[in-house]
Structure 1
Amino acid sequence: MYQEGQFEKLHQQFEPMIFSVIKRLSIYKNESEFYQVGLIALWEASQRFQKEKGEFKSFAYSYIIGRMKTALTQERKKEDHETEFDDQVKDQAASSDDFSALLSDDEIQDLSTILTMNQSKWLKAYCLEGKTPSEIAHDEGVSVAAVKAWRRDALGKVRKHYMEA
């Protein structure tokens, strides 16, 4: 087990390993989030390491790659769940060529009062213009992950709004 004051030194020493694992797992989006997962895993490894059981380098590597694989699995499950919801919404709107069939202009304006500016941008672009998260991201000059976060948070607020109504 490493002392707390030594973690900065450990961090500098194992930073290339964290980036190596990110590259090995072909992580190209949310790289900074996975870097944080790697740092947390390094910290946990430093706290749980026992010298008599082997070399720290291999212990840390297995800890880091294990945590990153777990985080990737969780992210994929979350994306799959969001994609399923998108597909359901698209199926509902398929009977009409106009996405405003889901929500009227007035309902969108009302909902905009409970949403942030970015969440409102997503709602209007998706429901009124039928744009995908990729198209919205391109138009707004942000990442697709950011638009998906707007969507996730907006949907949560909309669900809550309709549950309370």
Structure 2
Amino acid sequence: MSKKTFEELLQQFEPMIYHMMKRLNIYENHQAFYQVGCIAIWEAMFSYIEDKGQFPAYLYPFMKGRMLSELSEHTKRTEDLLDSSDTIDETIMVNDFYDIEMKSIVEDLTRTLSPLQKKWFIGYCLYGKTPSEIAVEENVTVSAVKSWRREAIKRIRAVHFDYHVR
């Protein structure tokens, strides 16, 4: 596999995310499971070893495992909520816990980023915004946002990963 950016891999394997959600009968929390799929692509891109086979064959079970884990956790949380007498308060707690967990992951990944790079990361990775949409919101050019993206990816790779996709 030639060296590809996350954006290229996401564009190529986004249908796999939707396929996996359909195959696993995920009919609620689509955005959360879509995010799990995106993170699976991101993680697989760094853990893939070219000598071991084709990237799609590696990614498919990798993503399936991540989604099954999330589905299992989601099911357990839901069952726990149904067993409780104060469902509304506990639902809020689960959502708050999920938000806190996501914020923790984002903070860890973005702690070395500049404020502009964080705007790209959060806009793109958490809200699925395009560089054009971010550029309009920030009143800058699309090329400026793409520059933030390039530098953010370099920093995240340098800090969080010792190797790159081959």
TM, length-normalised to structure 2: 0.51
Which SS does the other structure have where 2:84 is aligned?
helix
RMSD: 2.6
CA distance in structure 2 between the aligned counterparts of 1:68 and 1:16, rounded to whole angstroms: 15
Q: Give the equivalent residue in structure 1 for 2:92.
A: 150
> Identity rate of aligned residues, in percent?
38
Q: Deviations over 1:114-155 (max 9, x none)?
A: xxxxxxxx67xxxxxxxxxxxxxxxxxxxxxxxx7337579x
Contact 1:18–1:35 (CA under 8 A) maintained in structure 2: yes
Q: Give the equivalent residue in structure 1 for 2:56.
A: 57
Q: Give the equivalent residue in structure 2 for 1:75.
A: 74
Gaps of 5+ in 1: 91-121, 124-147, 155-165
Q: CA deviation at 1:82?
A: 1.1
CA distance in structure 2 between the aligned counterparts of 1:10 and 1:48, rounded to whole angstroms: 14
Aligned residues: 96
Which SS does the other structure have where 1:11 is aligned?
helix
Q: Give the equivalent residue in structure 2 for 1:143.
A: none
Which SS does the other structure have where 2:5 is aligned?
helix
CA distance in structure 2 between the aligned counterparts of 1:17 and 1:153, rounded to whole angstroms: 26
CA distance in structure 1 between the aligned counterparts of 2:22 and 2:28, rounded to whole angstroms: 11
Contact 1:2–1:47 (CA under 8 A) maintained in structure 2: no
CA distance in structure 1 between the aligned counterparts of 2:62 and 2:95, rounded to whole angstroms: 32
CA distance in structure 2 between the aligned counterparts of 1:153 and 1:57, rounded to whole angstroms: 32
Matches within 5 A, 1:3-22: 6-22=5-21
Larger RCO (alpha carbons 8 Å, 6+ apart): 2
Change (3 A) 1:2 1:29: farther
Q: Deviations over 1:73-99 (max 9, x none)?
A: 00011111111112xx69xxxxxxxxx
Gaps of 5+ in 2: 97-166
Q: Which structure 1 residue ranges, 4+ long, deviate > 2 Å from structure 2?
A: 148-154
Matches within 5 A, 1:20-99: 20-86=19-85
Contact 1:2–1:46 (CA under 8 A) maintained in structure 2: no
Contact 2:81–2:91 (CA under 8 A) maintained in structure 1: no
CA distance in structure 2 between the aligned counterparts of 1:2 and 1:149, rounded to whole angstroms: 44
CA distance in structure 2 between the aligned counterparts of 1:25 and 1:65, rounded to whole angstroms: 8
Which SS does the other structure have where 1:12 is aligned?
helix
Larger radius of gyration: 1
Q: CA deviation at 1:20?
A: 0.3
TM, length-normalised to structure 1: 0.52
